[in-house]
């Protein structure tokens, strides 16, 4: 049935991951050997391990514009939203000029260097951390959060010790903390419903079919035993590298329900698709399980199968 294709396509869309893209570093320069900040190429300031930890991608170099008081630098996008920006200035542009006379809100130490914190100079969602040197040269690490409920300085503060390791007087950069493995890693979404359980909620047990849902996720699909009431296929997806909130792409849940001892967010009409339903539960801060069902003949019953499956799936999840 063509609607099954719609459901599977929607499942893939809602669990899609961002693909890392290459960028342009600062071009090599001829001439005398440069030292200090002048020798740093901003797009090369992070190691591959640091980039992976900070979840940065798509580096873009931008040249200095002295007339506009902008030092040269590099900008990365952050996987879960926002950006990180490293700007490096030699004395021709001062911090005061760049910050349009603004005074730092506070300061803190990271990597053996004092960082001044400027937040909200242009927008409240932007944050700049700055280290000044005696020759009036300086470096800034900026980050942003446009979600409205996050900390704009979060990623910049994580990056500051790594940057400090490349600066005069800075302490050697610590190794990035190991990334926590998803509790779903190595588990099979098709094992969340036994043959008996699938039949119990009206599914055709023999229709079970795994499918790839993205670079860091896997899914499984079942068809209903009886399609006469408008029921469509149901999918269970394990997402190893995305929180429940990130997967909703800014949508607020229509309800929260306790099903099988776990809290599930219920999204009626996810992505504005009438007749579709998605219920999701967190398995860690950066992983979740989602169940999707639909009924295009009777939209009031679109969540029927997903909610029926949720307690059975919950019993197989880590920590249950």
Residue 170 covered by a domain: no
Average pLDDT over residues 183-193: 94
Average pLDDT over residues 175-191: 89
Please, are residues 83 and 143 in contact by the beta-carbon 8 Å criterion?
yes
Calculate Rg over the CA atoms of the chain. Answer: 25
Is there a single domain that holds both residue 10 and residue 50? Answer: no
Per the model's pLDDT, the better-predicted residue between 22 and 154 turns out to be 154
Is there a single domain that holds both residue 145 and residue 185? Answer: no
Average pLDDT over residues 132-143: 92
Write down the pLDDT at residue 320: 60
Residue 28 covered by a domain: no
Write down the pLDDT at residue 35: 52
- pLDDT reading at 7 higher than 70: no
Is there a single domain that holds both residue 145 and residue 190? Answer: no
pLDDT band at 122 (very low <50, low <70, confident <90, very high): low
Please report, for the domain that includes residue 153, its CATH number: 2.60.120
Residue 301 covered by a domain: yes
Looking at the 3D structure of the chain, how many domains does it have? 2
Is there a single domain that holds both residue 144 and residue 235? Answer: no
Residue 25 covered by a domain: no
Domain end call among 129, 164, 199: 164
Residue 23 covered by a domain: no
Using one digit for the tens of pLDDT, what is the confidence trace for 297-308?
A: 999 999 999 999
- The alpha carbon of 64 is separated from its chain's Cα centroid by a whole number of angstroms, namely 30
pLDDT band at 259 (very low <50, low <70, confident <90, very high): very high
Number of CB atoms found within 10 A of residue 272's CB: 7
Please, are residues 139 and 37 in contact by the beta-carbon 8 Å criterion?
yes
Is there a single domain that holds both residue 211 and residue 108? Answer: no
Is there a single domain that holds both residue 78 and residue 158? Answer: yes
Q: In terms of residues, how long is the chain?
A: 320
- pLDDT reading at 146 higher than 80: no
Residue 172 covered by a domain: no
Write down the pLDDT at residue 263: 96
Using one digit for the tens of pLDDT, what is the confidence trace for 33-80?
A: 445 787 889 999 999 999 999 999 999 999 988 788 888 999 999 987
Average pLDDT over residues 258-287: 93
Report which of 87, 142, 138, 84 is spatially closest to residue 113, judged by C-alpha positions: 138
Sign of the alpha-carbon torsion through 258, 259, 262, 264: negative
Residue 66 covered by a domain: yes
State phi, psi for 218 to the nearest 5 degrees: -135, 150
Is there a single domain that holds both residue 128 and residue 75? Answer: yes
Is there a single domain that holds both residue 111 and residue 139? Answer: yes
Write down the pLDDT at residue 241: 85
Mean pLDDT of the chain: 85
Is there a single domain that holds both residue 190 and residue 300? Answer: yes
Domain that holds residue 6: 2-16+181-314
pLDDT band at 212 (very low <50, low <70, confident <90, very high): confident
Please, are residues 87 and 73 in contact by the beta-carbon 8 Å criterion?
yes
Average pLDDT over residues 246-250: 80
Number of CB atoms found within 10 A of residue 293's CB: 27
pTM confidence score: 0.57
Domain end call among 113, 132, 164: 164
Residue 174 covered by a domain: no
- pLDDT reading at 319 higher than 80: no
Q: How much of the chain exceeds pLDDT 90, in percent?
A: 58
Write down the pLDDT at residue 53: 92
Is there a single domain that holds both residue 12 and residue 107? Answer: no
Domain end call among 139, 164, 189: 164
Is there a single domain that holds both residue 224 and residue 287? Answer: yes
- Cα separation, 275 vs 312, whole angstroms: 23
Is there a single domain that holds both residue 236 and residue 119? Answer: no
């Amino acid at each position: 049935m063509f609607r099954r294709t719609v459901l599977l396509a929607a499942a893939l869309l809602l669990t899609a991951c961002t693909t890392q893209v290459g960028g342009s570093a600062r071009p090599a320069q001829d001439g005398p050997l440069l030292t200090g900040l002048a020798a740093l190429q901003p797009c090369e300031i992070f190691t591959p391990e640091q980039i992976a930890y900070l979840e940065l991608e798509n580096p873009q170099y931008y040249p200095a514009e002295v007339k506009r008081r902008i030092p040269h630098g590099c900008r990365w996008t952050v996987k879960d939203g926002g950006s990180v920006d490293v700007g490096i200035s030699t004395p021709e542009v001062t911090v005061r000029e760049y910050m349009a006379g603004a005074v730092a809100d506070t300061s803190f130490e990271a990597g053996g260097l004092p960082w001044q914190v400027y937040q909200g100079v242009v927008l409240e969602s932007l944050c700049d951390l700055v280290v000044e040197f005696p020759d009036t040269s300086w470096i800034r690490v900026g980050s942003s959060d446009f979600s409205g409920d996050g900390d704009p300085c979060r990623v910049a503060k994580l990056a500051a010790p790594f940057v400090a390791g490349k600066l005069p007087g800075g302490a050697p950069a610590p190794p990035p903390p190991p990334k926590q493995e998803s509790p779903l890693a190595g588990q099979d979404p098709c094992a969340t419903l036994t043959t008996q359980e699938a039949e119990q909620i009206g599914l055709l047990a023999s229709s079970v079919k795994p499918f790839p849902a993205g670079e860091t996720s896997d899914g499984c699909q079942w068809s209903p035993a009886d399609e006469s009431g408008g029921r469509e296929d149901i999918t269970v997806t394990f997402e190893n590298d995305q929180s429940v909130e990130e997967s909703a792409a800014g949508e607020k849940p229509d309800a929260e329900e306790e099903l099988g001892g776990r809290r599930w967010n219920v999204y009626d009409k996810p992505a504005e698709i009438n007749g579709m339903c998605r219920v999701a539960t967190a398995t860690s801060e950066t992983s979740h399980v989602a169940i999707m069902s639909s009924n295009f003949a009777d939209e009031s019953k679109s969540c029927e199968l997903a909610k029926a499956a949720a307690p059975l799936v919950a019993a197989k999840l880590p920590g249950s």
